[in-house]
Structure 1
Amino acid sequence: MKLQSLVLATAAALTMTSAIAVPAGTWTIGAGAHMVDPKSDNGTLSTPLGALKVDVDDDIRPTITGEYFIANNVGVELLAAIPFHHDITLKAADGSKVDAKTQHLPPTLSLQYHFDGYNMPMNVKPFVGVGLNYTTFFKERIGVSGAKLDIDDSFGVAGHIGVDIPFTPTESFRIDARYIDIDTDVELQTGGVSYDVGKVDISPWVYGVAFVKQF
């Protein structure tokens, strides 16, 4: 429902007309930091060690965005970051825990509409977007001797909403949030045998701040 609301907001924005403030052909570059905040209840894995409930923690890393305006007020943005690091707790029914960890990169490509030229208070410039996320996982670890954890890469839709607060005609402070659908298959290798043990649903909100420069 959260993602559906963002998609509907984007569709509505793209059908609106307004005074034009950002012309086609404009570039913006943003540099900042984002926190990946996974949803609660990330699933349960059926493993040779028993059923293990999954809890994935959050992480904050530097990020960069680049956006090209293909039409007036309509841009295509790519989000990139250095690898996010996540500790994973696998909890059994008896309360015992197994620690695991992974790193991931979540490049996200979005089509966005910027509400520039609407005479907003303090000249703020809201925007909404929808796009596609690709998340690749690597350096997986699990705290069980002789065992190996493998998390598949994930494709999913992403929604984006935020606001730019300008302090010069070409420079802004950005606050934004994304909802990303990240749902991935997990494999556990132990005793020379590989087991498909289920899915992990991370589907985080990603909150960020950035400095944005327009060219």
Structure 2
Amino acid sequence: MKPYSLIVATALAGLAPVVHAQDAGDWIFRIGVHSVQPRSDNHSLVNVDGSTNLTFNGTYMLTSHWGLEVLAALPFEHDINLNGGDRVATTKELPPTVSLQYHFNPNGTVRPYAGLGLNYTLFFDEKTSGALSGADLELDPSFGLAAQLGIDVALRNDWFVNADVRYLDIDTDATVDGASIGTVEIDPYAIGLSIGKRF
């Protein structure tokens, strides 16, 4: 092999990911951002805008293929607008989610997975403005199903990059000054990009 060919081959080998087997008992941690985008027809009177914030998740591998994941995040803040009109409120929410995942290719460089679980969403710090200025808005907690598709792409030393998309069944009963205005069906998709490490 010519000297320059040997140099190029050595450099490429140094950049290539070193993939270790994913085994039962491994922990996988990720940190990144998710953009939460609610469905467009939330309610007959109002609609809920999207929000983006920092997220964290950890997965414990029960076997090389099956893992249990917990998702947490910093609070997401959403604007609530009249349909075709101005903002009338804001709210913050936390969406902790527990999912059982199946990892299709646990020993590969590219490791896709799918998950199904339960989501609990807590709404807090509701503030009203505009047409609802001074009114007392309350949004009840939500409990529903969650589904996800994701992919980990190995780098080196058990580091990897991750992309995923989630669907969350989030419905909240809303009251204004104690009077019910019905259920707001948020039901968002959350699209995320993260970096992670396996231990």
**TM-score normalized by structure 2?**
0.85
Kindly report which structure 2 residues correspond to 1:66-77, keeping only aligned pairs within 5 A, or say none.
66-77=58-69
Partners of 2:64 and 2:106 within 8 A in 1? no
- Which residue of 69, 78, 82 corresponds with 2:74? 82
* 3-state SS of 2:62 partner: strand
Structure 1 position 196, deviation (Å): 1.2
What do the CA deviations read for 1:86-139 (whole angstroms, capped 9, x no partner)? Answer: 011023xxx6545211000000100001122575xxx31100000000000001
Question: Which has more strand, going by share of residues?
Answer: 1
Kindly report which structure 2 residues correspond to 1:1-215, keeping only aligned pairs within 5 A, or say none.
21-44=21-44, 53-91=45-83, 97=86, 99-117=88-106, 123-143=109-129, 144-189=132-177, 194-215=178-199
* Structure number with larger C-alpha Rg: 2
RMSD: 1.6
What do the CA deviations read for 1:53-104 (whole angstroms, capped 9, x no partner)? Answer: 211111110111111011222110001000000011023xxx6545211000
Distance 2:133 2:169 in 1: 32
Distance 1:88 1:43 in 2: 11
**Could you list the runs of 4 or more consecutive aligned residues of structure 1 that deviate by over 6 angstroms after TM superposition?**
none
Distance 1:66 1:145 in 2: 40
Partners of 2:27 and 2:198 within 8 A in 1? yes
Which stretch has the larger CA shift, 165-174 or 149-158?
165-174
> Which amino acid letter does the alignment assign opposite residue 116 of structure 2?
V
Change beyond 3 A, Cα 1:57–1:98: closer
Identity %: 44
Aligned length: 178
- Unaligned stretches of 5+ residues in structure 1: 1-19, 45-52
Change beyond 3 A, Cα 1:167–1:133: same
Distance 1:118 1:214 in 2: 12
- Unaligned stretches of 5+ residues in structure 2: 1-19
